[in-house]
Amino acid sequence: MSVKVSVVYFSGYGHTKAVAEVVAAAAQAELISISSEGTLADNDWETLNRSDAIIFGAPTYMGSAPWQFKRFSDDSSKIWAKLGWKDKVFAGFTNSAALNGDKFNTLLQFQTLASQHAGIWVGLGILPASLKASSRNDINNLGGFSGLLVQSPADAGADEIPSGDLETAKLFGKRVFDIAEKFVK
Amino acid sequence: MSVKVSVVYFSGYGHTKAVAEVVAAAAQAELISISSEGTLADNDWETLNRSDAIIFGAPTYMGSAPWQFKRFSDDSSKIWAKLGWKDKVFAGFTNSAALNGDKFNTLLQFQTLASQHAGIWVGLGILPASLKASSRNDINNLGGFSGLLVQSPADAGADEIPSGDLETAKLFGKRVFDIAEKFVK
Amino acid sequence: MSVKVSVVYFSGYGHTKAVAEVVAAAAQAELISISSEGTLADNDWETLNRSDAIIFGAPTYMGSAPWQFKRFSDDSSKIWAKLGWKDKVFAGFTNSAALNGDKFNTLLQFQTLASQHAGIWVGLGILPASLKASSRNDINNLGGFSGLLVQSPADAGADEIPSGDLETAKLFGKRVFDIAEKFVK
Amino acid sequence: MSVKVSVVYFSGYGHTKAVAEVVAAAAQAELISISSEGTLADNDWETLNRSDAIIFGAPTYMGSAPWQFKRFSDDSSKIWAKLGWKDKVFAGFTNSAALNGDKFNTLLQFQTLASQHAGIWVGLGILPASLKASSRNDINNLGGFSGLLVQSPADAGADEIPSGDLETAKLFGKRVFDIAEKFVK
């Protein structure tokens, strides 16, 4: 029996959605979109409950995930009260306009949520490309560790995300799938 | 001319409101309540814009401030884009049922928001009471530094917050007022 | 073949050592002590390299792990450069005099180190005891999630650590062992 | 009487030293170098005690400041025990090879240290340059908020730090001086 992965994300302007799709394809995951009101459909909660691994995705707004993602997190407290997601594998990715832009803090928010749910956290697992010759077309050029970092400049469309970040997204999705499979089988 | 301090908070069940009132009294501050939908009235935004110091307050839910507080943070991005709150003094407090309960992370969220707004951060400024004889009636018995920590057990009413935490709240409010006055005068 | 767990820790005054011993017994782990100069013996590095799971332990001094632990972390950069610890299971615990005392930040330091090493992070996995009737003799009374939190008052000896924290340490050690076994088998 | 600022830093390979010199010149600050053993001279401690503002500087190694900086932090616990640095202005900067590279976490370590010392924290205070046309020659191209971020690729010498980061360092130093002056006068 195959492992079941879900990507639950909020996207404000389509960039995070584009990344979520790349991650989900590589992780063989079901895509769950958080609505503009921060809600999920009932069957989305059931999908998450049945998942072996859950990947969180959101942009970084004002230093952390948008309120819609937080509303989803708050709503998960009913599950938390019974540790309903115990021992699931968790991972996360975030996108913002600046190279750095406090993205670490959004990943920390995801990690902390996963720990509250008694989960297992998987990071990016790839060394950074940080030489003088490195470019935004390289794998993990941003240099993330606890999760996947993506940058899309403030005036860039969802189709203009640096190719290196999207390649990194593929490897990240595959990694979460592989770890979940190793853990669950 | 006197210094102007505001306390902007979200309270889910009344405990954070009780703390906010103690802090505000000591800081000679105006109280601004974030609604259950995460919104402020227009004149509340004007009050914040005119404030010399802004104190953030929220419980810790699932490892960070509730979505209503985050919605307020996200909505402040319009002000951020013009650095409209630059050089204001900021501080924060949080409350949760557990002694620790990832409260540090909520204060970090507040600090990060303040830094994004180009503000000045003031912590608690009081050594912890951490001896064997120390009790929940002592000043800073929880041992916070970057802000005020309050605990109210899961089955305690808003009138059952430990007296030491409320005394700490008074000193914290006074400290923010004093620092703001020193900074603004 | 059984799973191999190591506990690598620095203890300043014996309290963290006492906790490390409890954790190690429950995790069937080898104990590795970081010296007062922040060094390990060569065969200690080999033990870590052969481990399926590594548990970090240190007190919280001035808001993070002591310099001796950081020296160990810095020295692990040679292993990092080849991702020699990739996919190992990691976990962590910290002790300080205050109930809160920025212990979250030390666990974050451990988590970040684990993510840099491309590891898998396991938290405490236990709901907090946070009712009015809860006491320091209860399991997870401090309310930690991303790892094990222990408090020993500033004037308490290593034999005076609250019994609830030590019981939590046992469950934490067992959890890391179980997760490592599930992951490695 | 003029305001007194100090920059206390550790540099492993000269890059952080180069940044420290730029920051110090702009902040009219005294430069204090932490030795390769993590120690300061006695008169350096006196200089810090007399300072109105203290700027922390260090590279990010394995996700936080090097052990030498941590040893300095741990040694400051004697001052902490009497809150000898209360109400000083604090700020910080960090450098690493990767664009992101968990630099946020090093700034968090600095902020937390400052809060333990009952200090006032000043961030960068500059909006990021995060458009498609933005380059590493722009002010705050990395997009830091809680402090100054600098990147120097793994194979770049201390004379090859991006010009935009050095320009940002100047503005950061000036900002800390100005805030300290406003606060102290």
User: Could you report the per-residue pLDDT of A21-61, keeping only the tens digit for each?
Assistant: 999 999 999 999 999 999 999 999 999 999 999 999 999 99
A1: confidence class by pLDDT, cuts 50, 70, 90:
low
What's the CA gap between B116 and C172, in Å, rounded? 37
Tens-place pLDDT, residues C124-139? 999 999 999 999 999 9
Query: Under an 8 A CB cutoff, do A119 and C115 touch?
Result: no
Q: Residue A185 pLDDT more than 80? A: no
pLDDT < 50 regions, chain B? none
The per-residue b/e assignment along C154-185, b for 16 or more CB within 10 angstroms, e otherwise, is eebeeeebbebbbbbbebbbebbbebbbbbbe
Q: Which of C45, C54, C124 is nearest to C86 (CA)?
A: C54
Q: Which residues of D touch C68 (CB under 8 A)?
A: 67
Q: Would you tell me how many other CB atoms lie within 10 Å of the CB of residue D93?
A: 32
Q: Which residues of C touch D76 (CB under 8 A)?
A: 62
Query: Under an 8 A CB cutoff, do A125 and C179 touch?
Result: no
pLDDT tens by residue, chain C, 185 residues: 589 999 999 999 999 999 999 999 999 999 999 999 999 999 999 999 999 999 999 999 999 999 999 999 999 999 999 999 999 999 999 999 999 999 999 999 999 999 999 999 999 999 999 999 999 999 999 999 999 999 999 999 999 999 999 999 999 999 999 999 999 87
Q: Residues of A at the C interface (Cβ-Cβ below 8 Å)?
A: 81, 83, 86-87, 108, 111-112, 114-116, 118-127, 145-147, 179, 182-183
Neighbours of chain B (3+ CB pairs under 8 A): A, C, D
Helix (H), strand (E) at residue A49 = helix A42-50
Nearest residue in chain A measured CA to CA from D156: A132
Task: State the nearest Cα–Cα gap between C111 and chain A, in angstroms.
Answer: 8
- Please report, for residues C11, C107, C158, the alpha-carbon distance to residue C65 in angstroms, rounded to integers and kept in the order given: 10, 9, 18
- Please report, for residues A138, A146, C21, C115, the alpha-carbon distance to residue C110 in angstroms, rounded to integers and kept in the order given: 28, 11, 19, 9
* Candidates C87, C115, C125; nearest CB to A86: C125
Helix (H), strand (E) at residue A44 = helix A42-50
Do A82 and A45 contact (CB within 8 A), yes or no? no
Mutate to test the interface with D, among B115, B148, B149, B179 (most CBs of D within 10 A): B115
Nearest residue in chain B measured CA to CA from D108: B108
Nearest residue in chain A measured CA to CA from D97: A130
Tens-place pLDDT, residues C144-172? 999 999 999 999 999 999 999 999 999 99
Mutate to test the interface with C, among B100, B127, B149 (most CBs of C within 10 A): B100
- Please report, for residues A128, C82, D25, D30, D105, the alpha-carbon distance to residue A64 in angstroms, rounded to integers and kept in the order given: 23, 31, 34, 35, 14
Q: Which residues of A touch D104 (CB under 8 A)?
A: 100, 102-105
Q: Would you tell me how many other CB atoms lie within 10 Å of the CB of residue D157?
A: 13
Nearest residue in chain A measured CA to CA from B104: A112
**Mean of the per-residue pLDDT values of chain A:** 97
Task: State whether the Cα torsion A158-A162-A165-A169 is positive or negative.
Answer: positive
Q: What percent of chain C has pLDDT over 90?
A: 98
What's the CA gap between A53 and A177, in Å, rounded? 8
What mean pLDDT do residues D74-82 have? 98
Mutate to test the interface with A, among B39, B67, B78, B103 (most CBs of A within 10 A): B67
Nearest residue in chain C measured CA to CA from D111: C63
Q: Which residues of C touch B141 (CB under 8 A)?
A: 99
Q: Would you tell me how many other CB atoms lie within 10 Å of the CB of residue C30?
A: 16
Q: Which residues of B touch C151 (CB under 8 A)?
A: 130
Task: State whether the Cα torsion B179-B118-B62-C119 is positive or negative.
Answer: negative
Number of H helices, E strands in chain D: 6, 6
**What is the count of residue pairs from A and C with beta carbons less than 8 Å apart?**
63
What's the CA gap between C41 and C26, in Å, rounded? 24
**Beta strand ranges found along chain C (DSSP E):** 5-9, 29-33, 53-59, 89-96, 120-122, 148-151
All structural domains of chain C, each given as residue ranges with its CATH number in brackets, are 5-183 (3.40.50.360)
Residue D54, strand partner residues: D6, D90
Q: What was the ipTM of the complex prediction?
A: 0.97
Please give the pLDDT value at position B1. 59
Please give the pLDDT value at position C184. 86
Query: Under an 8 A CB cutoff, do B64 and A115 touch?
Result: no
Q: Residue D1 pLDDT more than 70? A: no
CA D20 to chain centre: 7
Q: What angle do CA A66, A71, A75 make, to 5 degrees?
A: 155
Q: What is the pTM of this model?
A: 0.98
Neighbours of chain D (3+ CB pairs under 8 A): A, B, C
Q: Residue D185 pLDDT more than 80? A: no
Do A23 and A169 contact (CB within 8 A), yes or no? yes
**What is the count of residue pairs from B and C with beta carbons less than 8 Å apart?**
84
What's the CA gap between D23 and D170, in Å, rounded? 6
